Amino acid sequence: MITDFEILLQSKGQFKNSTELSFRLENDFEFRKIIERLSKLYLGRIVSGCSNCYFDAYMELIHFSKTKAMEKDKCLFSLRAGAVLEDIDGNKTTTNVNLTNELAIYHLKRTPSYIKYFTKIPENLDELLNPVKKPKK
């Protein structure tokens, strides 16, 4: 089964110019729905309204790191709706929009009480938080 992200990436380079892309965005409602879903998931915002909004979101999404998309898809954690995990380093402030396994583990190691904000955690959480260190040879 092909994912929305793969459909979007396949469209990259398909348009000769911005006019062709704008035409598709104005007339292909399924394509617009894909952009809406991906924008909400990966960019953290809702896209609606004019074709320019869809055009901008499309351009951001096709340049979005596929690695980041795959990290988001494979995240073993989930936060309660509206939960925000704050950190002194503003780049590590986390919501469901940017939640990755790495960020979840980071926050839980630094602030164990944040566990109350999670609705989904992996069964091997203890192993993830306290990895067994191999002895030095």
Greatest pairwise CA separation for the chain in angstroms: 64
The residue ranges of the chain whose pLDDT is under 70 are 1, 64-73, 132-137
The neighbour count for residue 128, using CB atoms within 10 Å, is: 17
pTM over 0.85: no
Q: Where are the domains of the chain?
A: 4-65, 75-129
pLDDT of residue 135: 61
| Region of 87 on the Ramachandran plot (φ > 0 left; ψ -120 to 50 alpha; else beta) | beta
Q: What CA–CA distance (Å, rounded) separates 121 from 80?
A: 12
Neighbouring-strand partners of residue 78: 120
Check if the beta carbon of residue 69 is closer than 8 Å to that of residue 37: no
CA dihedral of residues 86, 87, 89, 92 (deg, nearest 10): -60
Judge contact between 104 and 113, C-beta under 8 A.
no
Predicted pLDDT of residue 72: 60
> How far lies 64's CA from each of 2, 117, 122, 133, in Å?
18, 28, 27, 35
